[in-house]
Amino acid sequence: MTALNIKKGTSRKSAYDLRRSRESDTETHTLSILVDNEAGVLARVVGLFSGRGYNIESLAVTEVDHTGHLSRITVVTTGRAHVIEQIKAQLDRLIPVHQVVDLTVEGQSIERELALLKVGSGESGAAEALLVAEEFGATQIESNPDVIVLELTGTVRQIDRFADRLLDCGLIEIARTGVVGIRVKE
What are 126-154's pLDDT values in tens digits?
A: 899 999 999 999 999 999 999 999 999 99
Domain span at 69: 27-104
Tell me, yes or no, whether 17 lies in a domain. no
Same domain, 126 and 174: yes
pLDDT, residue 22, reads: 52
Same domain, 127 and 168: yes
pLDDT, residue 24, reads: 66
Tell me, yes or no, whether 4 lies in a domain. no
The pTM assigned to this predicted structure is 0.79
3-state helix, strand, coil in the chain (%, to 5): 25, 40, 35
Same domain, 130 and 160: yes
Total domain count for the chain?
2
Question: What is the mean pLDDT of the segment spanning 24-50?
Answer: 93
Q: How far apart are CA 131 and CA 137, in angstroms?
A: 10
CATH of the domain at 143: 3.30.70.1150
Same domain, 120 and 93: no
Same domain, 88 and 67: yes
> 3-state DSSP call for residue 17?
coil
CA distances from 155 to 110, 112, 160, 163 (A): 9, 5, 9, 12
Same domain, 84 and 120: no
